[in-house]
Structure 1
Amino acid sequence: MTSRGTKYWDSGAIPLIGPDILGDIIGSLADIAIVISATGKILSVLPNPSRRAYADLKNWDKRDVREVLSAESIPKFERALAEYLDAGAVSRAVELNHYDNERKWQFPINYTFNKIGPDNTILMLGRDMQPVAELQQQLVKAQIALEKDYESHREYDTRFQVLLGHTTDAIIFMSASDGRITELNSAAARLLGKKRDALQNTSLAQELKGLSRPDLMDRLFSTAQTDGNDGFEIEVAQSGDHLRISPSLFRAAGERMFLCRLTPFSGKPARDDDYTRNLIALCENGSDGIVMTDGTGAITSANEAFLNLVDATDGRSLRSRQMSDFLSRGNVDQKVLMDHASRVGSMRLYTTRLIGEYGGQRPVTISATLLSNGHAPCFAFVFRDAQVSETPLPAGLPTTDDDARPIMELVGSATLKEIVSQTTDVVEKMCIETAIQLTNNNRVAAADMLGLSRQSLYVKLRKYGMLAKES
């Protein structure tokens, strides 16, 4: 009750407030309170005492408010001031950005315009928008991060789909909880006898004959956790074809999944006799380097002897690398070996130099053999270190008369220079003929193999009358 016997807040009235405490009340209600004239001159600044960042704004007194606003906020302030002077009030709050020239920082304030005197004196009560601006920046950063994650997800999904579509292996991704196919490629759909879209999100067990879903899941789990996983036989319900399924168990996003590889079932049990075991032991422990490649020349496996020849750490680092990476003439050597082996089945005693991982070279002789595993052609290469054969022969090693007879017959009928020249021509002609034959009449490859330029090779072909013959 007031001294007059009335309530303080009757009919929307407020009690009388002493001038000495009015400023404190206004300062505590608003983050910043500014009293300005009708022209925009700052008459007083009342910062909130709890906001230390605004404690030193007393230097704004007697300045034009436009001097402490950023360039884009000045037009907004002038529109709000003109609206207040015309209508006596501003319809809505105005957000202005203050700029401090001394400290070179700015902060946003949301102002309301209030009339406090008959001389158009205006009280601007401001609320700090910095927390809101910081929250908006965090939201923008979070949105940008989400967009980047989404783009990254789309990129990886595209790569996965391209890889799945172009691989020749029949691949199925299947949920380990319910046995449903989550993803598969066209090769797997062809083996199951249906279209890819028709198999998505369906149970694999219903596409097979003689296996219920629980039985299929039990066999997949037991096979995936067995060492030396060779898979097991399944029968396609629609076509009756027998396939081998090889499962691998993994976890993604907290859910266990099966990666299943399908291959046609040959029905031939793997050999486990002495011959097979001895052959495997020879490949692993033999002194000659052995390398297996696919039809393109990409390495699929290599034994320990080859790793020693090229100074490689382990076989995994060589997988999918081209055989030509380790040959001195690169693709020329690889093409000659593979083309010759493809035509006649094998090639023996091809001489070149092997390049190691650290650039070292050593002479080797290579034998190449074309193999067939029932699906795609592959090649086996055997490397033998030829450094021993390049060492000088011991003194006094006997030679047969048959080896020396053609040269001995020239003695007396020609000078030593002529004998050496004729012998050199014969050897040179034999080397050119061999290179032309090995490269299947590829002049560029033959010149590279012999270390000659293409022009020099044509000169020597013309010299020995081989140009017309070869063409």
Structure 2
Amino acid sequence: MTRERRKSERLRAGALPDPSSVQGIVELAADLAVYLSPAGDVEGISVNPDCPSLGCLDHWVGRNFNSFLTVESVAKLDERIAEMRADANMTPRWIEINHVDNATWEFPIRYSIHRIYGGDHLLLLGRDMQPIAEVQQRLVSEQLARERDQQLLRGEQTFYNVALEASETGLIMLEPESGKIRDLNSSAALLLGTKASTLTGSSLAQAFEGRKREELLDALSSAARTDEAKGVDLVARRNGHSLTVYPDYFRAAGQLFILCRLVPVDANMATSADVAQSTALLFASTSDAIVLTDGKGTIREANESFLIMADAAQMRDVRGTSFSDYLARGSVDMKIMLEAALKKGRLSNYATKITSLTGTRTGVDISASHLESHGGDFGYGFVIRGVSSNTAADGEAPTSAVNEDAMKNVMDLVGTASLKELVSATSDVIEKLCIETAVQLTGNNRVAAAEMLGLSRQSLYVKLRKHGLMNADSDDIS
């Protein structure tokens, strides 16, 4: 059957307005040809036999073409048709739109739009873009798969780095051919007396005394091949520590590497890493509250005991706040402790109270230290120990004794003096007790005592003389 005689079964529901010979040309020139009425209804359709993926689309005939387009494609096609009808001489341009059919099937077609004999009928000649779209989808899938692989690789690298750094044993990854350090942890760097970043990529022989590269590699290779755990005794060049290196071969990605374990010859020699770890454990587990602040008293770190004392749920509730916010006398207590610690280096057994976030108060003794490092001023450290409510803080016993004696003397006056005179005598006793207590709490710091009592320095000196609390020796309190 010739192509001219095939009235094209694909056109049985409609016909293109061309001779039969032209129909065959259209069928082969385009993957999909659609003949539209001025109202946008499909009057004829032709599918290239070499595009079986498009299937049979005869059911489009007699229905509006837009019903087989996605929402965004409808707007795009209507805009192009409007431009063509507004400009009769407009050159046909390609337009890519997406078709939908049978609810789930979606496929892209690239059309050129042509007028038929200058009328309002349109002929759409389309190329099937599904093969290109499939290639693009495969490229996107490959890119996503590559990104997932990279994410997994980064995760594995993170696990490796965390495990390496968590090890208390000094570990070095060594390339056996070149003798260069591929990786090492902080414990190994501390044993060698330097930083890990300084040694990474350098020759292992440079880290030890009296060993040439070839000689050291031969010794490590021989020790690694033996069945026994044989070590190589070496001396670190930077700090002179005697170390034993235990090498083992391992293979990664088809290449051989040597894992070297560094052990101090003196088993009793504590490394910096051991000391740091022990200090961290003490900080976390001690029953005494510990607070570290910067030079202005802002909290940098605190242990669990302080969080319990302050009724704080987690560290972020207190970090960045001022330590004075948790002291009963606020900035007055803070100023006294910081000045004493800065002047003498430390302050012991300062009696005050800690106010929690919920408002409860706890009597405490605080020891403060000024912390300095090689880089300069680090800040202050405070060790806070709770005191029993039945135990008087330092400096309170004399006050209590004076309080009882003074009040007894006042009570003895009952019946011999008027109430006004009794109240006046009581006020003087209380005033004297408050001044004595403030001076004792501040370590005879008159400026801090005046600030604590809300007095000027001159007024404090007047009251000290009034109550006989200042004698020839300005450092003594009667």
TM-score (normalizing by structure 1): 0.49
TM-score (normalizing by structure 2): 0.48
